[in-house]
Every structure is written in structure tokens, then in C-alpha cells.
Amino acid sequence: MRTSATPRSMEGMTLMEINAGDTAWVLASAALVFLMTPGLAFFYGGMVRVKSVLNMMMMSAITIAVVTVLWVVVGYSLTFGGDTGRVIGDFSVAGLKGLIAPEAVSGTIPTLAFVAFQLMFAIITPALISGAIADRATFRGWIVFVALWTSLVYFPVAHSVWFLDGDNPGGFIGTGIKAIDFAGGTAVHVNAGAAALALAIVLGRRVGWRKDPMRPHSLPLVVLGAGLLWFGWFGFNAGSALSAGTTAAVTFVNTQVATAAAVIGWLIIERIRNGKATTLGMASGAIAGLVAITPSCGAVTPVGALILGVVAGGICAFAVSLKYKLGFDDSLDVVGIHLVGGLVGSLAIGFLGTAAAPSAVDGLFYGGGVDQLGRQALANVIVGVYSFTVAFILAKVIDLTIGFRIKEEDEVAGIDQVEHAETAYDFLAAGSGLRGHSTVVRTEDPIDGDTSDGTAEKEGAKV
């Protein structure tokens, strides 16, 4: 569903008119997708311990800054400007050259609207990875990793999956293998999840992993973050229609349906396995559902989305425990939710896809045979292996040169004070929680206007 407007295609094609509705929706969607990264900062920030919350949030925030700069300079051009060997773009629109011209149109929207929308995807993808290396990565190492991984992995992968060029061959995954990835199950989630696994392995386990309690320091922050992610995801999925019409409406509804179903799927598994439905399980189930519906939101019916959501929520609820069995410290379950959830959603197209949906491919359950399933599997294996390999090498090189893991004593003291010279909460000044234990003895409301002389206020303060 992606396209691009290179100078070449602009000359070669009949210029389409800009559609105001489409442009408005894509620009609004770009803003929605932007909000997902601050949402991710809350989601991840709440899940770490008190001593690491600022660093966790900074890893997301610095990704916004680094990738935006990179995107303008070469990123957009390498992803959607022209084509080199069907795997990457070129430098033809480096610096967004010429794209402020009114003739720069991509489909029915100004190319710059597409540039803005796609930028937000390029930002959140590396930001997702940060959850795997919570509490222990040097800030400089992370910045270098983000710049290099985005350049060497995200740009070519997004090009291979999404670049279309009229009748010319586009990216080899989207137009060669013909795998469907509507909004980024492969290009974003499997891609980020595979890199996360590599980083968790290279950086190693946190001090005290599986011994010290590492429970989330603020579940309300996690819920806030999950809410912002869910909200922004409507832009992520329905905005990927790049138009304000049926496709956007279908993908919008499928996104909501699958996410709700995934919450239920995750909580059912938790209730059976642990006896309780947890808040973190609710938030995690929602993200698992959002991830799974991302590649498939244009390929399934709302009932298909329902089934997909329940299955994805249930599978991811199990997948997050894999790290304990396999022994890698993927701290905030980027692998269990994004790699596994992305795979589930992408492969589900091979089963639940229907030609009646915008992506227009029948899966196994709709009489389409196993062909599409094979295409989906191949695409994810290629992206997963490539991303893992490059991330692994990059992490090793960064670790051996400028250092990617903070010192053990710094990790114990807390990465916030060591890497940022700050701490998130001033508990001492906040006072003791004991004040909350006093009983309210006065039940009458203060009389209106009585507070003006301060008497009533004083009495109120006494209780």
C-alpha cells in the first residue's frame, strides 16, 4: 500500500491531483504515529525500576531526534527515492531535494505528507528495540546503534517491503516475493524484534536477573503508554491506506477489533496459568494485538481480526516466558511481543486473508491454498535473519569500541544518575505516605465563601 514519488516517476506519470481529504488524513495520521513514540516511552518507562525510568524514556526520545535528522538528510531518499537493485533507494532526493514543490505529489497527497508519515515509522521502529536492553546500555552506544541500524537495516528493509514504482519492479519483498505487510508487521515489528534479540544477547543479562525482583515501578505509566500507543496505532494502520476511504475504515475497525480480542486472549491465559488477570497483562495483550493486526489489517475481515487477536494475545502471553527458558534477558519482552506478535500477524494472512479485503489475497481458510503463507514466511525469515545479523555485528563493534554496556557498579547504582545525572523521583520531598492514613473526621462540606478568611481552610487542614 506504500508508494513513493521520485523525480523520475513524477515526470513519467500523469500527475494526480492532490485530494484534500486524503492529505488531511495522512497528516493527521503522521501526528498520531508520532505520539506512539512518547507513548512507548511511558510504556517502557513504567516497566523498569525507579533507577532506570529516565534512561528508558530518553532512549525513545533521542531516537526521535536522531532518526528525524537522518531521515531528512538521506533516510527518505534511501527508502523511497528511486530504486537500486530492488533493495534500497538512492540519493536522488537527499535533503528532501525538490519535495517542497507543488508538483511533488505521491498518489493523491503531497510527497511531503508521505515523507512525514513515513518518518514516524522510521522513528518508532528502532525505539521499540530499546526495551530489550533496559537498565544497562550506554547512551552514546544507543545513539550510534540507532543511527547505524536505521541506515543499514530499516531503510533497505522498508524499501524492499514497501517501495512501489508504477509498472516498474519495486522492492523485492513487496513486489517480488509478494508478501503482504500492510503497515509493518515485517518491516517494523519482526525487524525490531529480531534486532532486540541480538542486542539482548550481545549486551548480556542485567545484574541480578532472575534473582532480584525487577517488577515494573509504575503500572499506571504502563497503562498510560499502552493507551497512547493504541490511540496512535489508528494512524499507523489506517493511515497506511494513504487515503481517506474504505481501506482506511476497514483497517481502522480491524485494528480496534483485534486489539480488544488480544486483551481478552492474554487475560484468559493469565487467569488459567496464574490465577489472576493482571494490569500488565491487559496492557501487554493490547500491544500484542496491535502488533499482530499491523501487517494484516488490510487482509482480513473484522471476524478474521477477532480470531487473529485472540490467538495473538494468547500466544504472546506464552512467548514472554521463553526468555527464562532460553536464558536471554530481553528485559521488556520486545521479542515475545514484537517478533512473535509480528510473525503471528504476518503468517495469519496466509490463513485468514480474504480477497474481499483491501489487500485482496485469499489465505488457506478462504480457498487460497498455502502459497501466501509461504510468501509471508519467506519474507519474515529474510527480514528477521538480516536484522538479527546486522544488529548483532553492530552491537559487538559498538561494545568493543565506544562501549555498549555500562559498568556493573553503575548499573547497580542506577543508570539514570550515571548516564544522565538525574533521578526521576524526589521521594524525600514528596513526604511520607503516612499522611494518607489519617482519617477524615469532618464530614460537612465547607460553607460557600467561608474559605475567604482562611478559617475553614485551617480547620480542614487539621483533619
CB closer to another protein, 57 vs 288:
288
- If you ran DSSP here, which 8-state letter would residue 110 be given? E
Q: Are 71 and 122 in contact (CB under 8 A)?
A: yes
Stretch binding another protein (CB under 8 A), from 13-21, 274-282, 292-300, 414-422: 274-282
CB closer to another protein, 48 vs 398:
48
H or E stretch at 194: helix 191-203
Residue 181, SS3 per DSSP: coil
Q: Does 443 help bind another protein (rule: CB under 8 A)?
A: no
Question: Residue from 429, 430, 434, 447 that binds another protein (CB under 8 A)?
Answer: 434
The whole-angstrom separation of Cα 462 and Cα 457 is: 9
Q: Do β-strands 109-110 and 105-106 pair in parallel, antiparallel, or remain unpaired? A: antiparallel
Task: Pull the grid cell for residue 259.
Answer: 486489539
Residue type, 209: W
Draw the binding track, 156-195, toward another protein (x: CB under 8 A; -: no contact).
----------------------------------------
Q: Does 400 help bind another protein (rule: CB under 8 A)?
A: no
Question: Residue from 273, 407, 442, 458 that binds another protein (CB under 8 A)?
Answer: 273
Nearest distance, CB of residue 300 and another protein, angstroms: 27
The whole-angstrom separation of Cα 236 and Cα 255 is: 10
Task: Pull the grid cell for residue 221.
Answer: 505509566
Question: Residue from 276, 407, 442, 458 that binds another protein (CB under 8 A)?
Answer: 276
Question: Residue from 324, 381, 385, 402 that binds another protein (CB under 8 A)?
Answer: 324
CB closer to another protein, 276 vs 407:
276
CB closer to another protein, 429 vs 434:
434
Question: Residue from 19, 68, 92, 278 that binds another protein (CB under 8 A)?
Answer: 278
Long-range CB contacts (within 8 A, 24+) of 368-375: 372/180, 373/347, 373/349, 374/350, 375/177, 375/178, 375/179, 375/180, 375/350
Q: Does 433 help bind another protein (rule: CB under 8 A)?
A: yes
Give me Rg for the CA atoms of the chain: 24
Task: Pull the grid cell for residue 400.
Answer: 568493543
* Interface of this chain with another protein, residues 205 to 224, rule: CB under 8 A: 213, 215-216
Cα angle for residues 204, 210, 212 (degrees, 5° grid): 105
Q: Does 280 help bind another protein (rule: CB under 8 A)?
A: yes
Stretch binding another protein (CB under 8 A), from 6-14, 156-164, 197-205, 320-328: 320-328
Phi–psi pair at 405, nearest 5 degrees: -120, 135
Residue 242, SS3 per DSSP: coil
CB closer to another protein, 25 vs 328:
328
Binding site for another protein (CB under 8 A): 213, 215-216, 270, 273-276, 278, 280-281, 284, 317-318, 320-321, 324, 333, 336, 432-434, 437-439
